[in-house]
Structure 1
Amino acid sequence: MTHKNIDYKKYLDTSIISKIKNLELRARMVVEGFMIGLHKSPYHGFSVEFTEHRQYMQGDSLKDIDWKVYAKRERFYVKQYEEETNLISHVIVDISNSMDYKHSSSVTKLEYAITLAAALVYIMINQQDASGLVLFSDKIQSYLPPKSNQIYLKTLLAQLSQIKAKGLTNTGVCLREISEKIKKRGLVIIISDLFDDPSKIIPALKYFRYKKNEVIVLQLLDPMEINFAFEKDSIFVDKETGLEINTQPRQIQKAYQTTINNYLHNIKSECLNHGIEYNLIDTSEPFDKALMSYFFKRKKLY
Structure 2
Amino acid sequence: MPNAPSPHYKYLDPQALDKLKNLSLAARQVVEGFFAGMHKSPHKGFSVEFAEHREYTPGVDPRHIDWRVFGRRDKLYVKQYEEETSMRCYILLDTSASMDYKSESSLTKLEYGSFLAASLSYLLAFQHDAVGLITFDDQVRSQVPPRQGPGHLRVLMEQLEATTIGKETKLGATFHQLAETIKRKSLVVIISDLFDDASELVSGLKHFRHKKHDVIVFQTLDPAELNFPFDDVSRIEDMETGREITSDPRAFRAAYLEEITNFLEDVRGGCNEAQIDHVLTETNISFDTFLGAFLAKRQMTMI
Residue 254 (structure 1) aligned with residue 254 (structure 2): yes
Task: Name the SS of the counterpart of 2:163 in structure 1.
Answer: coil
Please name the residue that 1:219 is paired with: 219
Count of residues in Structure 1 that have an aligned counterpart in Structure 2: 264
Please name the residue that 2:167 is paired with: 167
Task: Tell me: CA distance 1:195–1:53, structure 2 relative to 1, closer, same or farther (3 Å).
Answer: farther
Q: State the distance in 2 between where 1:241 and 1:265 align.
A: 25
Please name the residue that 1:22 is paired with: 9
Task: Tell me: CA distance 1:196–1:54, structure 2 relative to 1, closer, same or farther (3 Å).
Answer: farther
Task: Tell me: CA distance 1:102–1:275, structure 2 relative to 1, closer, same or farther (3 Å).
Answer: same
Q: State the distance in 2 between where 1:208 and 1:50 align.
A: 21
Larger CA deviation: 237-246 vs 265-274? 237-246
Q: State the distance in 1 between where 2:100 and 2:64 align.
A: 53
Do the aligned partners of 2:12 and 2:119 also contact (CA within 8 Å) in 1?
Answer: no
Please name the residue that 1:289 is paired with: 290
Q: State the distance in 2 between where 1:225 and 1:159 align.
A: 28
Cα deviation for residue 233 of structure 1 reads: 2.9
Task: Tell me: CA distance 1:57–1:190, structure 2 relative to 1, closer, same or farther (3 Å).
Answer: same
Cα deviation for residue 285 of structure 1 reads: 0.9
Do the aligned partners of 1:93 and 1:191 also contact (CA within 8 Å) in 2?
Answer: yes
Q: State the distance in 2 between where 1:220 and 1:58 align.
A: 42
Task: Name the SS of the counterpart of 1:141 in structure 2.
Answer: strand
Task: Name the SS of the counterpart of 2:191 in structure 1.
Answer: strand
Please name the residue that 1:92 is paired with: 92
Q: State the distance in 1 between where 2:160 and 2:281 align.
A: 20
Do the aligned partners of 1:82 and 1:148 also contact (CA within 8 Å) in 2?
Answer: no
Q: Which amino acid aligns with 2:197?
A: D
Please name the residue that 1:185 is paired with: 185
Please name the residue that 2:232 is paired with: 232
Q: State the distance in 2 between where 1:156 and 1:208 align.
A: 23
Residue deviations 1:55-78, cap 9 Å, x none?
A: 7437457979xxxxxxxxxxxxx9
Please name the residue that 1:207 is paired with: 207
Do the aligned partners of 2:129 and 2:148 also contact (CA within 8 Å) in 1?
Answer: yes
Q: State the distance in 1 between where 2:173 and 2:180 align.
A: 11
Task: Tell me: CA distance 1:255–1:245, structure 2 relative to 1, closer, same or farther (3 Å).
Answer: closer
Identity of aligned residues (%): 34
Q: RMSD across aligned C-alpha pairs, in angstroms?
A: 3.1
Task: Tell me: CA distance 1:258–1:273, structure 2 relative to 1, closer, same or farther (3 Å).
Answer: same
Q: Which of the residues 35, 56, 81 maps onto 2:21?
A: 35
How does the TM-score come out when normalised to structure 1? Answer: 0.77
How does the TM-score come out when normalised to structure 2? Answer: 0.77
Cα deviation for residue 289 of structure 1 reads: 2.3
Do the aligned partners of 1:215 and 1:276 also contact (CA within 8 Å) in 2?
Answer: yes
Please name the residue that 2:46 is paired with: none
Please name the residue that 2:70 is paired with: none
Residue 157 (structure 1) aligned with residue 195 (structure 2): no
